[in-house]
Structure 1
């Protein structure tokens, strides 16, 4: 069964954050979001707006399509 898209997106953000050696607080400061919001996203507990997805894509220097490519994070 497919994972929920919010879980997949949260795992993608967590993977990118860790690969960039950032804490949740550092990512929050760099994106303008609150630290607890980052945690909620990473746990798949927040449904983001397209504008917030765009903020992450710009920060990680990815297109929205690349950011949403969850295949990159499968083991």
Structure 2
């Protein structure tokens, strides 16, 4: 799994766990909703500042959005 896929899966999972729509997360992070959608579909690679903003709005550290699943990192 490449890092874009890791970010996409983690972003979507944490966003849904927080009960946020793509639109609400985008509004809170001051990012366009279509960009959130593109990140979750691995269309774009996010810059580190965007990863940090998204993580903060989800109550996470940026590193949390970039952690590979346990089965892959072992």
TM exceeds 0.5? Answer: yes
Number of residues paired by the alignment? 71
Assess if the C-alpha contact under 8 Å between 1:8 and 1:44 holds in 2. Answer: no
TM-score by length of 2: 0.83
CA RMSD of aligned residues (A): 1.7
Offset at 1:71? 2.0
Deviation for aligned residue 1:62: 1.6
Consecutive unaligned residues in structure 2, runs of 5 or more: none
**Per-residue CA shift, 1:20-75, capped at 9, x if unaligned?**
11111111111111110000000011111111111012112222222222327x8x
Normalised TM-score (structure 1) = 0.82
